[in-house]
Structure 1
Amino acid sequence: MNKFSIAIAGGGSTFTPGIVLMLLDNLDKFPIRKIKFFDNDADRQDKVAKACEIILKERAPEIEFIQTTDPEEAFTDIDFIMAHIRVGKYAMREKDEKIPLRYGVLGQETCGPGGISYGMRSIGGIIEIIDFMEKYSPNAWMLNYSNPAAIVAEATRKLRPTSKILNICDMPIGIETAMAEIVGLSSRKEMDIKYYGLNHFGWWTSVKDKEGNDLMPKIKEHVAKYGYNGAPGELQNPEASWSDTFTKARDVWAIDPDTLPNTYLKYYLFPDYVVEHSNKEYSRANEVMDGREKFVFGECKKVVEKGTSEDCGLHIDEHASYIVDLARAIAYNTKERMLLIVENNGAIENFDKTAMVEIACIVGNNGPEPLVVGPIPQFQKGLMEQQVSVEKLTVEAWAEGSYQKLWQAISLSKTVPSVSVAKQILDDLIEANKEYWPTLK
């Protein structure tokens, strides 16, 4: 069996240890000969890499490990690049979230003006990694789960149309895991689903078990009462902000009870509610910096100081197993059915052919084959057309250095009340992103 060489772009990410543990847990299904970390922040990467090196020596000493900031070293002799970069790190995420809130507009990592701001930072970083891959390992595949996935996917479609990149998101995986728990199944893989939309902006139209029994009525009954959270006394999401998002799904569902919604629709359908329940001084970025970031770096430090990963609190990110399934589908031509962000190209019959949509695909060694969705209802079509225009205008603004187009993109977002508010937010975001955005004229 072939052994694969993996580069993790974003080696200093708080998610990297979980990815490494997940890869080690799946070596029987996806054998690895080499893991390389690449990051442009050597110090941050070093903290994670030293701990991961100890974990690898203990659990799979045969795997060669390299950490580097040199693109040639990182991307030479690579089969798969797993990319989860965050340009500007959490300090810039905090600004993405807090600047819109000054103007009574929700601040969120991937939605609304904050998502547009993050997208404008991410595009250049992702394009750079694609170019490194094509230069040093032209046969490699890039599995990209860097946010905001919708804007990044549109940028890769427009700016690198022939690149071997698969854009993915784990949010539907988390929701499907909740659905499986609601109906008493042990895994989301015991369900067959139909789903369509844009990234962080979609709907399930069918959920069945492997015998073909319709699970939608039972899930809908639960969602109508509790959203995707457990019933009182059952397991809730431990983080308050996520728990609220999972519960709010009941109100999102009510506007179209024929489907089951992605939780992120909360931000577009209830922006007033989100602003009302936001803390302008302490946003989700602060929660992450004080929570996951401190925890992961603290645990990495303990591993390095002790020289062993015994009793360490680092754990596998369950959703990350999706990435192994995707890599296996390409490597072994498994033809697994997976949700990916791909060019529509007629899959959704009555929608823009060039839109990057999130739909089920059959994945093999040639990449994804999108499955036909057919026509979609007017409500979803209208929402998606507005949002896909935001994404396209953002990418055009980045590529052309156009102030006007970015102003249009922010104005078109369903989260923003007026063109004048959009302009105020944009001007503040330009100031905050001087180091990261192209110059806009």
Structure 2
Amino acid sequence: MSKGIKIATIGGGSSYTPELVEGFIRNYEELPVRELWLVDIEAGKEKLEIVGNLAKRMIEKAGLPIDVHLTLDRREALKDADFVTTQFRVGLLEARAKDERIPMKYGVLGQETNGPGGLFKGLRTIPVILDICKDMEELCPDAWLINFTNPAGMVTEAVLRYSNISKVVGLCNVPIGMEMGIAKLLDIDHSRVHIDFAGLNHMVYGLDIFVDGVSVKDKVMDMITDPENSSFVKNIKGLGWEPEFIKSLNVLTCPYHMYYYKSRDMVEKAAKSAEEEGTRAEVVQKLEKELFELYKDPELDIKPPQLEERGGAYYSDAAVRLITSIYTDKRDIQPVNTVNNGAIASIPHDSAVEVSCVITKDGPKPVVMGDLPVPVRGLVQQIKSFERVAAEAAVSGDYDKAVLALTINPLTPSDTVAKQIVDEMMEVHKEHLPQFYSKVEA
């Protein structure tokens, strides 16, 4: 790696890519990227070219010697890579829109990474990520796989369990967003805030909160239950927590907990939004259209501020921070998805968890958190069961396991409803679920 770093980004035509490129530019001194390969599929060719050309203009403006390569040949991009980042969406936003709309017909939340939507995104994504892992074993066996593709926890679980790749880290922008939120609440610089994170992806809790190494958890819990500061807990527009609930839970929640602790409210809200302005996927499709029009402008050579409306705030901060810390053996503490190894007592050792880790050149070393508090332990274990069974269904193509996974998920009211949703979603996503259909055809 002495000549600089080669990074391959799978899903390089994503509207998020300019944010990642901005991060590489900003951190070039610590992280000397020599080659950036942006990879996509035939259906994403036009977007790849638009984003790739913007990336080249951004790098040219910064005056840095980073070569940007655009390709539809994944294997060419992976050869001798040092880091592989994944940010792809099987079935594109059209698939996400189906994941959101179909469950709502059954009174169940349709959402990208939770409940039926999370299950089907996992079923479509896991076989593809495992294919990427096979290519990596052959073409860049020493590379680190940094996975952003949702559902990140389930995908990391599948890679750890069903591939020979051990150098994998799942990453999400939710914990860094929580840190930023606390820093804003306390009106201090983000670098002074440290949170002990433990749980799963999109199911992570802040067990303790520190400023300059001193716990301020009691102060923060008081502040976020004060109606004056209600904007902090209104993670999802227009819905706040009951102060009594948050106070007695006594841990920091993440925005996705709303789907579990306020299930009925969230289903009603999603249905109303879908009716008035479209599902989140449909809203994002419109946003993306506008973004790509901006990206086409040959005069544009910066990340446009409109990208922040897309929803991935701090994405590049999290990605570049992690890659830099592995590359420089920094040994700072960051929350990532990795194998548990006893860090959280009530989760199996060999399962993926989202937990604060010391980041070294050999990857994340989880900080031992002990047991999860009793009030949150059961929900985390239930979601881990769901992820494990869902990953098994994705790999085996076992229909019964898919129904079982969705029935286990707390957002599903019954096995009957689970079966109905699975049947309908299997049909509409048939093209992207070959593992379930090849046996039938054979």
TM-score (norm 1): 0.90
Name the aligned partner's letter for residue 194 of structure 1: D
Task: Determine the structure 2 residue equivalent to 1:296.
Answer: 291
Judge conservation of contact 1:149–1:167 (CA < 8 Å) in 2. yes
Which of these residues, 89, 97, 100, is aligned with residue 97 of structure 1?
A: 100
* CA distance 1:251–1:118, shift in 2 (3 Å): farther
CA apart distance, 1:289: 1.4
Task: Determine the structure 2 residue equivalent to 1:275.
Answer: 267
Task: Determine the structure 2 residue equivalent to 1:309.
Answer: 301
* CA distance 1:318–1:262, shift in 2 (3 Å): closer
Question: What secondary structure sits across from 1:439 in the alignment?
Answer: helix
1:71-109 deviations in whole A, cap 9, x for unaligned?
Answer: 232112311112111111111111111110010001110
Judge conservation of contact 1:195–1:204 (CA < 8 Å) in 2. yes
User: After the TM superposition, which residues 59-70 of structure 1 pair with which residues of structure 2 at under 5 Å, given as runs?
Assistant: 59-70=62-73
More divergent stretch after superposition (47-56 vs 140-149): 47-56
Inter-partner Cα distance in structure 2 for 1:157 and 1:32: 27
1:368-395 deviations in whole A, cap 9, x for unaligned?
Answer: 1111111223332211121111111111
Name the aligned partner's letter for residue 424 of structure 1: Q
Q: Is 2:350 aligned against 1:349?
A: no
Which of these residues, 146, 149, 158, is aligned with residue 155 of structure 1?
A: 158
User: After the TM superposition, which residues 175-214 of structure 1 pair with which residues of structure 2 at under 5 Å, given as runs?
Assistant: 175-187=178-190, 189-212=191-214, 214=215
Task: Determine the structure 2 residue equivalent to 1:243.
Answer: 237
Inter-partner Cα distance in structure 2 for 1:128 and 1:226: 49
Q: Is 2:75 aligned against 1:83?
A: no
* CA distance 1:311–1:123, shift in 2 (3 Å): closer
More divergent stretch after superposition (345-354 vs 28-37): 345-354
Q: Is 2:144 aligned against 1:144?
A: no
Root-mean-square deviation (CA, aligned residues, Å) is 2.3
Name the aligned partner's letter for residue 340 of structure 1: V
* CA distance 1:273–1:48, shift in 2 (3 Å): same
Name the aligned partner's letter for residue 135 of structure 2: F
Task: Determine the structure 2 residue equivalent to 1:172.
Answer: 175
Task: Determine the structure 2 residue equivalent to 1:54.
Answer: 57
Task: Determine the structure 2 residue equivalent to 1:376.
Answer: 372
Identity across matched positions, percent: 30
Inter-partner Cα distance in structure 1 for 2:332 and 2:36: 25
Inter-partner Cα distance in structure 2 for 1:425 and 1:431: 10
* Runs ≥4 residues deviating over 6 A: none
Name the aligned partner's letter for residue 439 of structure 1: F
Task: Determine the structure 1 residue equivalent to 2:23.
Answer: 22
Question: What secondary structure sits across from 1:82 in the alignment?
Answer: strand
CA apart distance, 1:163: 3.1
Inter-partner Cα distance in structure 1 for 2:425 and 2:208: 40
Unaligned 5+ runs, structure 1: none
Inter-partner Cα distance in structure 2 for 1:16 and 1:329: 20
Judge conservation of contact 1:81–1:140 (CA < 8 Å) in 2. yes
CA apart distance, 1:295: 3.2
CA apart distance, 1:315: 6.2
Name the aligned partner's letter for residue 208 of structure 1: F
* CA distance 1:252–1:383, shift in 2 (3 Å): farther
TM-score (norm 2): 0.90
Inter-partner Cα distance in structure 1 for 2:289 and 2:399: 37
Name the aligned partner's letter for residue 436 of structure 2: T
Question: What secondary structure sits across from 1:261 in the alignment?
Answer: coil
Inter-partner Cα distance in structure 1 for 2:204 and 2:11: 27
1:163-194 deviations in whole A, cap 9, x for unaligned?
Answer: 3211111111111101110011121x211221
* CA distance 1:135–1:60, shift in 2 (3 Å): farther
1:8-56 deviations in whole A, cap 9, x for unaligned?
Answer: 1111111111111121111122111111100112222122112222222
1:249-269 deviations in whole A, cap 9, x for unaligned?
Answer: 556953743211112111112
Judge conservation of contact 1:178–1:228 (CA < 8 Å) in 2. no
- Hey, which of these two has a bigger chunk of helix by percent? 2
Which of these residues, 311, 318, 323, is aligned with residue 322 of structure 1?
A: 318
1:143-171 deviations in whole A, cap 9, x for unaligned?
Answer: 11110111101111111154321111111
* CA distance 1:131–1:297, shift in 2 (3 Å): same
Question: What secondary structure sits across from 2:356 in the alignment?
Answer: strand
Unaligned 5+ runs, structure 2: none
Question: What secondary structure sits across from 1:222 in the alignment?
Answer: helix
Name the aligned partner's letter for residue 409 of structure 2: S
Inter-partner Cα distance in structure 2 for 1:9 and 1:17: 14
Judge conservation of contact 1:7–1:81 (CA < 8 Å) in 2. yes
Aligned residues: 426
Inter-partner Cα distance in structure 2 for 1:161 and 1:368: 18
Question: What secondary structure sits across from 2:432 in the alignment?
Answer: coil
Inter-partner Cα distance in structure 2 for 1:223 and 1:72: 49
Name the aligned partner's letter for residue 180 of structure 1: A
1:129-153 deviations in whole A, cap 9, x for unaligned?
Answer: 2222222222211111110111101
Task: Determine the structure 1 residue equivalent to 2:129.
Answer: 126
Judge conservation of contact 2:170–2:338 (CA < 8 Å) in 1. yes
CA apart distance, 1:355: 2.5
